[in-house]
Amino acid sequence: MTQLSTTERILCLFTEVKPGEGTTAVMMFANVFLILLAYYFIKPLREGWIAISDVEGLSKMEVKAYSSFAQSIILLFIVGWYARLADRWDRATLFTRATLFCISNMVIFWFLQPNLFFDKLPLSGIVYYLWVGMFGVFVVAQFWTFCADIYTDERGRRMLPFIAIGATSGAAFGSWMVEQLVDSGMAPTEALLLLATAPLIVSIMLVRRIERREDHRGTAADATAPGEECGTETEPEKASIWNGARLVLVSRFLLLAALVTVFTNWVNTNGENLLFRVIQEALTVQAQEQGIADGPNMLEFTRDGTTAFYGNFFFWVNITALLLQAFVASRLLKYGGFAAILLILPVIALMSYSIMALLPVLAVVKIMKIAENATDYSLNNTSRHVLWLPVSSAMKFRGKPAIDTLYVRLGDGLAAITVLVGVQLLTLTTKAFFVFNVFLVLCWLVAGVLLVSEHRRASATGT
């Protein structure tokens, strides 16, 4: 009988590993580590660039909020376009070409950055903001699709939790590196896009090596060809989104799941917009204290300060999420059940936004948003998967796609409307926005409690 290798024995500390699985698992771990490392070089720069993308008549928070909503709408079409590409190319070719396309875009955006080769180009930061969402589909999301295609159901249940640690680790390390590079002056903010291309190139090489290894092992031959799989599922999936949207209106379980999804995204996106507003207010005060006037120096100060802040912010979010996922998620689900793991995020959000409403200063807002986002990325993410376990296959395949797309985007849209009404019509203060979010969280909690009751009923009846 084949013995475990040294690498596989080490991996047994994290999950169950069978002989011959260690090499692929390590390469997949390294691959997603590199992808998320690159992504968190790109993501903080998005916040820095949008911070200096002024639009006449709009506040900085409005520019970010409306760009976020536009990104959500565009992503609905990007996902459909990507699915058609997957129907044409095999998985390694799809991954390679999509990643190379994004790398070429990164070089173009590096060239277009403000005060590098050009002065600040109108709307360039908004275009970059929209593009980062596309990068998430073409590179980040496609890795998990590749991963699901490589692993069978049984192998996937054992290996995916270990590979997911690579994703969180890469995100945390990338965020930390951005903060160190920008704050220390080791690399200018303008260089982040070029630096991010290196791990993506290595990622392509790893994907192709994994593909050759899995072909040799015979796993790829057993899988349905990407084109065949997409060809059989594309039309039902498209139908399920819109049919599921109607089904939500006649199913109490789906209606409550949709409401919880809407409130979750509405509250969180409001919080992201308010965090951005508080950052810009704090940077304005710092610039005045340091005697930095309007002009190129102010633009550079705002961009670098915003980028460095988000690098540090994302680092602590990802580190906290990693710890919660590794040590709390499974135990909370085991001992507290579905109710505990679903309701913990709105409870934390209620405490966080109540504190932020009383003390709307940057240090407090940062700590509270770290707690909220880390819980969302770990414990609440687990609850989203557990939610669908007791319901029928028809409800899953018809309702879940609608909730994961249309109702998530509806929450983002309501957040944009909140900014529009709050800034343009009511001229709300930052504190007032936080108070409104407390009200939304209370509605979220009510919907969550009702959903827990429906989940228990579904578990008992098996429907």
**SS3 readout for 88-115:** HCCHHHHHHHHHHHHHHHHHHHHHHCEC
pLDDT digits (tens, 9 = 90+) for 187-236: 788 889 999 999 999 999 999 999 888 776 654 434 443 443 333 343 44
Burial class from Cβ neighbours inside 10 Å (0-12, 13-18, 19+) for residue 66 reads middle
Lowest mean pLDDT among 66-80, 237-251, 317-331: 237-251
State the CB neighbour count (10 A cutoff) for residue 258: 26
Q: Assign 280 a pLDDT band (cuts: 50, 70, 90).
A: very high
Instruction: Tell me the C-alpha to C-alpha distance, in Å, between residue 456 and each of 38, 328, 462.
Output: 41, 22, 10
pLDDT digits (tens, 9 = 90+) for 355-403: 999 999 999 999 999 999 999 988 898 788 788 878 776 676 567 767 7
Same fold, 1-223 and 236-463: yes
Structure confidence at residue 381 (pLDDT): 81
What's the CA gap between 110 and 345, in Å, rounded? 37
Q: Assign 186 a pLDDT band (cuts: 50, 70, 90).
A: confident
Lowest mean pLDDT among 137-146, 199-208, 257-266, 330-339: 137-146
CATH for 236-463 is 1.20.1250
When pLDDT is averaged across residues 273-302 and rounded to a whole number, the result is: 90
Structure confidence at residue 226 (pLDDT): 41
Class of domain 1-223: mainly alpha
CA 372 to chain CA mean position, Å: 14
State the CB neighbour count (10 A cutoff) for residue 344: 19
Among candidate residues 21, 392, 441, the one with its CA nearest the CA of residue 265: 441
What's the CA gap between 200 and 207, in Å, rounded? 10
Structure confidence at residue 230 (pLDDT): 36
Q: Assign 275 a pLDDT band (cuts: 50, 70, 90).
A: very high
Q: CB neighbours of 359 closer than 8 A, spacing ≥ 6? A: none
Q: Assign 246 a pLDDT band (cuts: 50, 70, 90).
A: low
pLDDT digits (tens, 9 = 90+) for 425-443: 999 999 999 999 999 999 9
- Look up the pTM and report it: 0.81
Domain ranges for the chain, please list them: 1-223, 236-463
Res. 409: pLDDT tops 70: yes
What six digits make up the tokens of 111? Answer: 């060239």
Instruction: Tell me the C-alpha to C-alpha distance, in Å, between residue 82 and each of 85, 145, 197, 211.
Output: 5, 12, 21, 20
Structure confidence at residue 113 (pLDDT): 87
What six digits make up the tokens of 17? Answer: 């590993």
Task: Give the chain's mean pLDDT.
Answer: 85
